């Protein structure tokens, strides 16, 4: 599989030779934030939709790790395409290095703008301790997103709360570039991965875009994490751990 770089700089978005982004496509990305919701959601979408890997990102501070998944080499920052719905995904298996986050996000935002995406979805988590109603998520749109918010039927993030990390920086960059984008944040548990929150995210994306991303694996992972969490709390609250056993 041949790849070609889209820039000559130290930061490169490398796409498979012959692959072109269709005008009006949707760009989707989620970073490792609260509950790892953004990463879990984006990575699971690419797997369950059988999206094709069409590129990757190179940079001076590329993490010194690779792994294997489904008998294929997995790189730190991969780009996938789901042609049926004109979706392009960035799956960042690591956070961009702290020293290059601004440059990384700045280049990514400009690449998004140059490729004429119809909209950008940035997926993340929101501390569940702030939840005050039955809604499962909140939204943070750019000014250019406009009336597209209606299709989500999601309340805006309350004033006084903040989005943080690479997702916040990318939203800010896209706002300054007058790009249509929205941050979608599902309520998540702080301090551990929250696949149930990621499942909530995927169910909303299934509903809005008419895709069929299976969430059962995420729900099963969530049930296992919750089971282990209950066991841990039971052990910690017991005067004698042996009291748990008969």
For the stretch 104-161, pLDDT in tens is 999 999 999 999 999 999 999 999 988 888 899 999 999 999 999 999 999 999 998 8
Contacts of residue 136, defined as CB under 8 A and 6 or more positions apart, other chains included, come to 186, 187, 200, 204
> What are the residue ranges spanned by the domains of the chain?
9-238
Contact between 3 and 15 (Cβ < 8 Å):
yes
| Nearest alpha-carbon partner for 184 in 204, 159, 170 | 204
Contact between residue 2 and residue 136 where contact means Cβ atoms under 8 Å apart: no
Interatomic CA distance for residues 231 and 23, integer angstroms: 50
Are 8 and 1 contacting, i.e. CB atoms less than 8 angstroms apart? no
239 DSSP assignment: S
Environment class of 226 (CB within 10 Å of its CB; exposed 0-12, middle 13-18, buried 19+): middle
Q: What is the mean pLDDT of the chain?
A: 87
Give pLDDT tens digits for 54-77. 999 998 888 888 888 888 898 999
Place 170 in a pLDDT band, splitting at 50, 70 and 90: very high
Give me the pLDDT at residue 27, please: 98
pLDDT bin (cut points 50, 70, 90) of residue 241 is very low
- Average pLDDT of 156-181? 94
Question: Residue 5 above 80 pLDDT?
Answer: no
How does 3-17 read in b/e, with b if 16+ C-beta sit within 10 Å? Answer: eeeeeeeebbbbbbe
Q: For residue 24, how many C-alpha atoms fall within 13 Å in the half-sphere facing its CB?
A: 2
Residues in the chain: 246
Domain 9-238 CATH superfamily: PAC-like subunit (3.40.50.10900)
Model confidence at 6: pLDDT above 90 = no
């Amino acid at each position: 599989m041949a790849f070609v770089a889209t820039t000559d700089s130290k930061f490169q978005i490398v796409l498979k030779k012959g692959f072109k982004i269709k005008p009006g496509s949707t760009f989707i990305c989620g970073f490792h934030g609260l509950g790892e919701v953004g990463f879990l959601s984006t990575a699971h979408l690419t797997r369950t939709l059988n999206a094709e890997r069409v590129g990757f990102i190179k940079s001076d501070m590329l993490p010194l790790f690779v792994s294997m998944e489904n008998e294929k080499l997995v790189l730190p920052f991969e780009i996938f395409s789901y042609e049926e719905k004109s979706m392009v995904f960035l799956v960042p298996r690591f956070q961009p290095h702290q020293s290059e986050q601004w440059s990384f996000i700045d280049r990514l935002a400009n690449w998004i703008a140059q490729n004429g995406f119809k909209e950008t979805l940035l997926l993340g988590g929101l501390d569940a301790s702030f939840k005050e109603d039955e809604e499962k998520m909140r939204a943070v749109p750019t000014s250019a997103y406009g009336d597209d918010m209606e299709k989500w039927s999601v309340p805006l993030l309350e004033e006084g709360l903040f989005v943080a990390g690479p997702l916040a920086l990318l939203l800010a960059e896209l706002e300054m570039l007058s790009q249509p984008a929205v941050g979608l944040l599902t309520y998540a548990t702080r301090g551990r991965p929250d696949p149930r929150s990621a499942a909530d995210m995927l169910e909303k994306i299934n509903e809005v875009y008419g895709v069929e991303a299976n969430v059962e694996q995420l729900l099963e992972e969530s049930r296992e994490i919750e089971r282990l969490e209950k066991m841990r709390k039971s052990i910690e609250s017991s005067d004698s751990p042996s009291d748990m056993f008969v």
